[in-house]
Amino acid sequence: MKFLTLDGLTYYTTKIKALINGKVDKDGAKVLSDNNYSTQEKEKLAGVAASANNYTHPNNAGNKHIPTGGAAGQVLGYGGSSGTASWMSNEGQANVIETIQVNGTALTPANKAVNIDLSTYAKKTDISTVYIPKGSVANYAALPKSSQRIGDVYNLEDTGSNYVWLGSGKGEKGDGWDKLGETIDLSGYVKASDIQSISTAEIDALFS
């Protein structure tokens, strides 16, 4: 067990007063740094020249910035040297076609006129082998008599046959309609569902 004498208490008080005398007084208008602001940093800051951090945006050629000037009817363009911008007329060059290709094959333009030869390609109106389902009608007599397009296909409800429009004056009857495929008469054939195998009982009956 230990105890504190008057001399020891006096010594302790002296240590506390020394620490208090070295404190920094609080000022409501100032904020203390959390990073122990040093004398070296203070001297470095004091050595920064006036207006050293003021940025002036350049406006002359050669620095990739917009130069002074500019007026109506002008655009900003880059000249021959890298990074040099200047104001110029927005009229640009004459509209002259230099290169044209069709399916990778180069064509030689004549002035501003270009002729692309598509004579080897089929027009949409020339394609007559495309079937266009149009629905069903009651019978052959109900097939449309006008406004048909080549390839229109109708189903006849009475026979189940399909007829395609080939054009005026064409078809098996010359009325423009032609039957797709022929009807096969299967009336003389037996359905698979009607065929039954002979049972063992029926075989036994043959021997009774």
- pLDDT, tens digit, for every residue of 51-94? 777 777 666 656 667 777 778 878 877 766 666 777 887 766 66
Cα atoms found within 13 Å of the Cα of residue 15, Cβ hemisphere only: 6
Write the DSSP string, 126-145. G-----EEEEEESSGGGS--
pLDDT at 196 over 70: yes
Cα atoms found within 13 Å of the Cα of residue 170, Cβ hemisphere only: 10
Please state whether beta strands 152-156 and 162-165 pair in parallel, antiparallel, or not at all (unpaired).
antiparallel
Instruction: Give the pLDDT confidence score for residue 59 in this predicted structure.
Output: 62
Give 86-125 pLDDT, tens digit per residue: 788 776 666 666 677 777 777 665 555 667 777 777 777 7
Q: What is the number of other CB atoms lying within 10 angstroms of the CB of residue 48?
A: 9
CA distance 155 to 151: 13
**The residue type at 158:** D
